Amino acid sequence: MSEPAPIASSAASPAQAQAPAPGPGAAAAPGADATPLLELRGIAAGYGSMQVLWDIDLSVAAGECVVILGANGAGKSTLLRVALGLVPAMQGSVWLRGEDVSQLRTDRRVARGIGFMTEVGVFPELSVRENLLLGAYRLGAKQARANLERTYAAFPLTAQFRSRPAGSLSGGQRKLVGVAKVLMGDPSLVVMDEPSSGLSPVAVHEVVEVLRGVEQSDVSLLIAEQNTAFLGLAQRAIVIEGGHRRFEGTVDALRDDAALKRAYFGIE
């Protein structure tokens, strides 16, 4: 079995290979006064009778990257699951391009252009190629094949290791395959749960660079993270503490907030 290659070498240029994002709002500049791609309004959610989120508002514009920052157990994953329809909201609503999708099943939301990358990101027992094809499950066979070739070209590592079980790759390489897999579905918004989890600082940096390429291809990003390295990609951030939204604003404003700076950047 060959040694895992560094993932950076495979981060060629997803921007060039990525198909243009579909949808009428896709060309709007970040911050433009357009209907958000995704909007969460007044979300409350929990598990059984245990509430873990209270009154959370969040929006992602076309072409924008928004980071949800919060400590362990803050409620980041739960909020993403509500956006995808994997956890029902107790209160509030979820909107995609101005359409209330609160009652839509997850697969219908995916069909409207949301891709979800979980913390694991891949099915470890399946080959890289099988993982990639699963990412295109809702597309026709011809489109899936075309997207596969596009992905092999944009992320050479996926071509090199196409026959290997995803679980045999390094943590960083698995994340890269996870990113490539979600892009196989031609999403206009990629929702990611802690892409840094389990990665070394070097691998985190490499994943950030891969995502920079994704961002340049006009795919919007919503990233839940504890790692502030991802703020470098974002125009805006929200901070969740104990299920409540503590901050919403630009990344610059977040860096200027003394209390949050202490909490998240370790600086007095």
Contacts with Mg ion by CB under 5 A lie at 76-77
If binding is defined by CB under 6 A, does position 78 make contact with ligand ATP? yes
- Contact between 179 and ligand ATP by CB under 6 A: the answer reads no
Q: How far is the CB of 197 from ligand ATP (least distance, A)?
A: 8
Beta bridge partner(s), residue 240: 245
The residue (of 78 and 217) whose beta carbon lies closer to ligand ATP is 78
- The reply to whether 70 sits near ligand ATP by the rule CB under 6 A is yes
Q: Which span (75-83, 96-104, 168-176, 260-268) binds ligand ATP, by CB under 6 A?
A: 75-83
Q: Which does 188 bind (CB under 5 to 8 A by kind): ligand ATP, Mg ion, none?
A: none
- Between CA 187 and CA 215 the distance in angstroms is 12
Q: Which is nearer to ligand ATP, 7 or 74 (CB)?
A: 74
191, 115 contact by CB (below 8 A): yes
Q: List the single partner that 52 binds among Mg ion, ligand ATP, none, CB under 5 to 8 Å by kind.
A: ligand ATP
How many C-beta neighbours within 10 Å does residue 48 have? 5
Non-local (6+) Cβ contacts of 56 within 8 A are 40, 42, 43, 44, 75, 79, 92, 238, 240, 244, 245
Amino acid at 144: A
Structure tokens at 94: 């979820």
**From the list ligand ATP, Mg ion, none, partner contacted by residue 259 (C-beta under 5 to 8 A by kind):** none
Q: Contacts with ligand ATP in 194-233 (CB under 6 A)?
A: 194, 226
- Per DSSP, helices labelled H in the chain are 14-17, 76-84, 106-111, 128-135, 141-154, 156-160, 171-183, 201-216, 251-256, 258-260
Judged by CB under 6 A, which stretch of 11-19, 25-33, 76-84, 178-186 contacts ligand ATP?
76-84
b/e for 121-142, b at 16 or more Cβ within 10 A?
A: bbeeeebbbbbbbebbeebeee
Binders of ligand ATP among residues 27 to 46 (CB under 6 A) are: none
Give the interface size with ligand ATP as a residue count (CB under 6 A): 12
The two tokens of residue 258 are 């003394």
Stretch that binds ligand ATP, among 25-33, 68-76, 89-97, 201-209 (CB under 6 A): 68-76
Residue whose structure tokens are 């995916």 = 110
Alpha carbon of residue 14 to chain centroid: 15
Which residue of 10, 58, 76, 192 would you call a contact of ligand ATP, by CB under 6 A? 76
CB 45 within 8 A of CB 25: no
Pick between residue 93 and residue 226 the one whose CB is nearest to ligand ATP: 226
Q: Does 52 help bind ligand ATP (rule: CB under 6 A)?
A: yes
Comparison of 23 and 198: residue with beta carbon closer to ligand ATP: 198
And the tokens for 25? 């709002």
Question: Who contacts 137 (Cβ-Cβ below 8 Å, separation ≥6)?
Answer: 185
Of 73 and 88, which has the nearer Cβ to ligand ATP? 73
Half-sphere exposure (Cβ direction) of 101: Cα atoms closer than 13 Å? 26
Nearer to ligand ATP (CB atom), residue 34 or residue 221: 221
- State the residues that interact with ligand ATP by CB under 6 A: 47, 52, 70, 72-78, 194, 226
